[in-house]
Structure 1
């Protein structure tokens, strides 16, 4: 059972159009303060975007519940404006950027495996 404070790590992929890379970077150097506050208020924590030279974009954030975080943002006016402006930057996007991304499956997390070793060691020594 997941505890109420459990965090889910979400990693996703999008493709930025090659001719829009400079503008995409520029827009993310100073994201609207209202958008930043909305992300935080709707549980998008430790949120980062990584952009490769060919436009491959990898995003990462932590949340208690992805569906709730997305629904929370969908309910804000600032998100509707931001998504409308940002949608044009992406290749083959199915929906808005914050819902149309390809979510990646986590296959390794250091802390989870270290915790498992510690728990197993504690059980065997009891």
Structure 2
């Protein structure tokens, strides 16, 4: 098991819509994420900067790298693209976060 953390960026004025869409996450997307070996996935918001901080746990046998090729993942990115900074293919721009401290 490993932990992965990264930052993403919301556009101004879309916090409520971002939250609503995640509250109504598509069951087939949640299933694809889980099947890829991702669990305990949280996204936090810095309301001052609109930065999103995501933290997820990966099983040792995860297939996270295959998720971008899943049609449901591509549809989700298209669905969310208007709300955040994205790459040309609508994948959210991610900035990796470096772990500095952990207290277990």
TM-score by length of 1: 0.71
Verify: 1:59 aligned to 2:65, yes or no. no
Alignment of 1:69 onto 2:64? yes
CA RMSD of aligned residues (A): 1.8
The residue number in structure 1 matching 2:101 is 108
The structure carrying a bigger helix percent of its residues is 1
Moved over 2 A (4+): none
SS at match of 2:54: strand
- Structure 1 unaligned spans of 5+: 1-6, 112-126
Q: Which residue matches 1:45? A: 39
Rg comparison, structure with higher value: 1
Counterpart selection for 1:13 from 2, 7, 13: 7
Higher relative contact order (CA 8 A, sep 6+): 2
Shift of 1:52: 2.4
Aligned length: 100
The structure in which a higher percent of residues are strand is 2
Q: CA deviation at 1:82?
A: 0.2
**1:35-78 alpha-carbon deviations (Å, 9 max, x no partner):** 1001000111111111122321110101146x93132x123211
Unaligned runs of 5+ in 2: none
Matched, 1:22 2:26: no
- After superposition, residues 68-87 of structure 1 pair within 5 angstroms as 68-71=63-66, 73-87=67-81
Q: Does 1:94 align with 2:87?
A: yes
TM-score, reference length from structure 2: 0.84
Distance 1:106 1:57 in 2: 16
